[in-house]
């Protein structure tokens, strides 16, 4: 697993793709938070808070994480190297876990530049430091866990696809449905009392608790279950390709 993790990380950072993604992610968030006129602009909001950042980032991750994960298995199948990996002395579970961890790590690294935004808001607060750090750090933990969930979904999409384009489109679609689609469907209240159950199937409600600074074990357990389920399914579909 460690060997696969190192190989995948090198494939991201060795050809500059990870650096480009991190830079693009940071540039887009900076533009929306400080320059573009929109509901996420911190200066327009007039509050020392990064809540608009935590609202914006999941939508960006919905496109970025599938872009990172699309090549994990789909590319291996396209190039024929998946059969070579099967011939090596490693378990399919190690292969899946190593690739999952690599996508998760790169995704988490995308958040590192936002510490500059945190420092900026901290200094600009009146008085200085007038920011809810508990809510902020809770939101960061929520994002780290959400990235893991998106990575699991992206790995599953790649394991189901024969090429990278299909893996990317399927990954974006699945992430969108899990984060926003289910929540939106539940908001129409078409199923009566079952709407509450439907609402809790999606990512949004569980991530929302973190953005309020509440780290609920139920939300953590939910995401662990989702990540475990996606990795098990990925392991199953990849094993069938042997």
Query: What is residue 81's predicted lDDT score, i.e. its pLDDT?
Result: 82
Residue range 182-193: average pLDDT? 76
Report the percent of the chain where pLDDT is more than 70: 98
> What share of the chain has pLDDT > 90, as a percent?
50
What pLDDT shows up at residue 49? 79
Give the pLDDT of residue 233. 96
pLDDT for position 171 = 95
- Residue 142: pLDDT above 90? yes
Q: What pLDDT score does 36 carry?
A: 83
**In the predicted structure, residue 89 carries a pLDDT above the cut 90:** no
More confident position, 52 or 106: 106
Q: What is the mean pLDDT of residues 78-102?
A: 87
- The confidence band for 97, taking pLDDT boundaries of 50, 70 and 90, is very high
Using pLDDT thresholds of 50, 70 and 90, give the confidence band for residue 197. Answer: confident
Give the whole-angstrom CA distance, residue 74 versus residue 208: 32
| pLDDT reading at 74 higher than 90 | no
State residue 109's pLDDT score: 95
Mean pLDDT of 190-219: 84
3-state secondary structure of 192: coil
Please check the confidence at residue 37 and state whether its pLDDT lies above 90. Answer: no
Burial of 105: CB neighbours in 10 Å, binned 0-12, 13-18, 19+? middle
Lowest-confidence range among 24-28, 173-177, 210-214? 210-214
Higher pLDDT, 98 or 186: 98
Using the predicted structure, report yes or no on whether residue 193 has a pLDDT greater than 70.
no
197 φ, ψ (degrees, to nearest 5): -65, -45
Q: Identify the pLDDT of residue 210.
A: 92
| Among 199, 157, 154, 158, CA closest to 180 | 199
Could you give the CA distance from residue 43 to residue 33 in angstroms, rounded to a whole number?
A: 8
Please measure the distance between the N-terminal and C-terminal CA atoms of the chain and give it in whole angstroms: 18
The pLDDT assigned to 77 comes to: 83
């Amino acid at each position: 697993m460690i060997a696969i993790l190192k190989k995948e990380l090198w494939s991201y950072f060795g050809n500059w793709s990870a650096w480009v993604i991190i830079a693009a992610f940071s540039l887009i968030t900076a533009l929306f938070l400080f320059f573009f006129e929109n509901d996420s602009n911190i200066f327009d909001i007039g509050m020392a808070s990064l809540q608009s950042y935590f609202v914006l980032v999941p939508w960006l991750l919905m496109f970025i994480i599938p872009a990172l994960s699309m090549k994990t298995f789909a590319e291996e199948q396209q190039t024929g190297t998946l059969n070579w990996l099967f011939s090596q002395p490693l378990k399919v579970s190690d292969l899946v876990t190593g690739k999952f961890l690599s996508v998760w790590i790169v995704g988490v690294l995308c958040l590192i530049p936002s510490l500059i935004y945190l420092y900026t808001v901290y200094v600009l607060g009146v008085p200085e430091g007038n920011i809810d750090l508990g809510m902020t750090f809770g939101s960061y933990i929520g994002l780290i866990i959400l990235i893991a969930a998106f990575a699991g979904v992206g790995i599953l999409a790649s394991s189901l696809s024969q090429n990278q384009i299909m893996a990317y489109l399927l990954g974006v679609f699945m992430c969108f449905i899990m984060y926003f689609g289910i929540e939106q469907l539940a908001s129409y209240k078409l199923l009566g009392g079952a709407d509450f159950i439907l609402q809790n199937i999606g990512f949004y409600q569980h991530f929302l608790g973190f953005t309020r600074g509440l780290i609920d074990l139920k939300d953590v357990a939910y995401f662990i279950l989702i990540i475990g389920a996606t990795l098990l399914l990925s392991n199953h579909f990849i094993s069938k390709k042997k």
